Amino acid sequence: MKIGIVNDSVMAVEVLRRIIVTCPEHQVAWCAANGAEAVALCHQTPPDLVLMDLLMPVMDGVEATRRIMKTTPCAILIVTASVTGNSSLVYEAMGAGALDVVATPVLGLSGAGTAANELLRKIDIIGKLIGCSPKSTRRPKPHQESKPPNRPQDPPLIVIGASTGGPQALTTVLTKFPANLPAAVVIVQHMDKKFTHGLATWLNHQVTMPVKIIHEKDRPKKGIILVPSTEYHLIMTNSGSLIYSQEPVDNFYHPSVDVFFQSIVKNWTGKIIGILLTGMGRDGATGLLSLKEEGHHTIAQDEATSVVYGMPKAAMQLNATKEILPIHEIGERIVALLGR
């Protein structure tokens, strides 16, 4: 891959360059000292991937991400020295189109090798996302569960899958929900495990419904929004409770929307509304189709309002959607469907 580096620290740029050149399949396309330079270089010499710092002079990483995604869209990985300290900026950048975040490796510090390996791992994952075939319709192996036991009908369940651009899209949808929404909500957002707890905190400041982290064996409850606490796959068991699993290990989407959606099809006795929002790749499309085939209502975000029209497009191509709506209409539509 051709990779652009954006960082105002000469030392950080050199560290990133040294790590990249250890892999013969990658090359450094250019280096920029701030976001404004990066925007210009993306136009002049479009890269496959940009490693974007957050805090820089002239133009920060959030604004640069926003402008690049509007003018010359490409994959963007946030690489910042203070991952947890910049969590609010990370959510803004991911809402603008960044795919993921990783800490900047620092030479000479203990753990530097681990940080370098983590950077290369995420670059590899993004490479797979960029290279995945848009025509593939292979379904992930569903989680094997017996039929759910005879129990009182579960309340309505809203399940939302999102990736690139997800944090901002989620806010737009969830702010339309009243505090007493007569349904349970579970969100699966592709995100590094370092930020899952922070996502719940961030959303709690944006929406009226309470947002909570999912603990092992929790059950979806009416009036509560649940968010996974790790990057392991989220699965619903035949008792209706939620657990985490590392299987399937060959699925590079973490947590996988498909894996979760397919686990709830046979294990939730109530009405389900499945939503697939902006994101790169195809994750969630086959799971949404499974929900539709069981008679549940499915909605995908439209192309015009998606930061990256990958996951919703894949769902549309599979005829997995009953409706395709702009992001600002999805929340109100869900509330209307619950009122039927």
Of residues 53, 60, 143, 190, which has the active-site annotation?
190
Of residues 87, 163, 256, 306, which has the active-site annotation?
163
* 283 counts as catalytic: yes
Q: Is 92 helix (H, G, I), strand (E, B) or coil?
A: helix
In terms of Cα–Cα distance, which of 6, 25, 155 is closest to 93?
6
- Return all residues near 69 (Cβ < 8 A) that are at least 6 apart: 76, 96, 97, 307, 308
* 197 counts as catalytic: no
d(CA 309, CA 304): 8
Tokens coding 35: 């976001």
In terms of Cα–Cα distance, which of 212, 210, 251 is closest to 231?
251
Cis peptide bond prior to 248, omega within 30° of 0: yes
Of residues 53, 100, 192, 283, which has the active-site annotation?
283
d(CA 275, CA 217): 23
- Return all residues near 2 (Cβ < 8 A) that are at least 6 apart: 27, 29, 45, 47, 48, 49
* 60 counts as catalytic: no
- Judge contact between 38 and 29, C-beta under 8 A: no
Catalytic positions: 163, 190, 283
